[in-house]
Amino acid sequence: MKTTLRADLHVHTYASRQSGTLPFLGSRDCYSSPEDVYRVARARGMDLVCITDHDSIDGALELLARRPGATDVIVGEEISCVLPDGNVEAHIAAYEMTEALHRDVQHLRGNVFDVTGRLRQAGVFFALNHPLHFYRHQLPLERYLRLLHEVPAVEVRNGTMLAAHNRMFETLAAWWPTPTGLPLCPIGGSDAHTLRRVGTTWTEAPGATRGEFMANLKSGRATVGGSDGGVRAVAGDAYGVVGRYVASLAGLRPCDLRAAHRAACLAFSAVSLPAQFMPVVVSAARKSAERRTVERVAAELANISSQAPSLESRAPSPESRVPIPAPRSPGVELVP
């Protein structure tokens, strides 16, 4: 019997319905079927299959409907929230979701602290995904890092994030003080929007069953493995989604648009063919911005460590919910 289990804890299916890019096109964020995700994940060595669609559990529920009684499926959700201070988007991955809990959190997404409070109340395991993906210093770093006090886990290996980004938070998670005294659990996932990267980044934890695996995650007992990401990973997913979108316009399921809208979008796709290099350009620009943010945050974290005794005087006001404590190991090297 296996003593550890492995799962890719960040995967999308066609239940991630709405893409934020050119919304008038009606494109989904992913076109992979839950059954295909399951098949590929298992073929790539995942013992458990987790689906974390954007603000939806429909993909995971569809998979369970096709596989009644399955014990190797984790119903997850990537919840899009807002950190009100600075209006920064934050994504919380929640696991072992139910339909009732899903409905509850949809009404709370305007404030990430309300979402995390509800998830804590429900006793489910959850994590902060790709921590710097949306952060561009809209508010001081110390105030942004309050999020790490709100979660029992942080994604330290994301298959689309730069290695420097991932390693920074792997280091940070190892010493970050938490209200419970338990370490921040490190988790990893591919963040795959196409089948090509499903199961290439993962989380491993002790256990012989899904229940034991989840219990050990809650205790912080996990390791991560697999690929980091860069321009190639992001652009590859973008081209994969574009290809499946065009196929859906031609009638391949899922097909979301009415005939007239489909015809208009097909015409737009044909006219824009000369600009199909844009996903690479956009991906390169995003990775460049991510790199600059990581470098700046690393410098700020090193400065915070060196000034640990003065942190208390610079902590947020009491109404900010969570203060910023001094790190456990002021001498830690934070630059990847």
Determine the angle formed by the axes of helices 58-66 and 34-43, rounding to 10 degrees. Answer: 70
297-312 mean pLDDT:
70
pLDDT band at 19 (very low <50, low <70, confident <90, very high): low
pLDDT tens figures, 43-96: 999 999 999 999 999 999 999 999 999 999 999 999 999 999 889 999 999 999
Hey, how many other C-beta atoms are within 10 angstroms of the C-beta on 39? 14
pLDDT band at 321; cut points 50, 70, 90: very low
pLDDT band at 254 (very low <50, low <70, confident <90, very high): confident
With pLDDT > 70 as the criterion, what percentage of the chain qualifies? 82
Is residue 65 classed exposed, middle or buried when 0-12, 13-18 and 19+ CB atoms within 10 A define those classes?
A: exposed
Q: Model confidence over 215-253: pLDDT tens digits?
A: 999 999 999 999 999 999 998 898 888 777 777 777 777
**Average per-residue pLDDT in the chain?**
86
User: In sequence order, what DSSP letters do the residues of 231-256 get, joined into one string?
Assistant: HHHHHHHHHHHHHHHHHHHTTPSS--
Walk me through the domains of the chain, giving residue ranges and CATH numbers. Answer: 4-232 (3.20.20.140)
Distances in whole angstroms, Cα of residue 9 to Cα of each of 25, 199, 217: 29, 9, 11
Q: What is the pLDDT of residue 265?
A: 63
Q: Pick the residue with more confidence: 247 or 11? A: 11
SS3 of the chain: helix, strand, coil, percent, to 5: 45, 15, 40
CA 2/CA 206 separation, integer angstroms:
9
Two structure tokens written together for 205? 């934890």
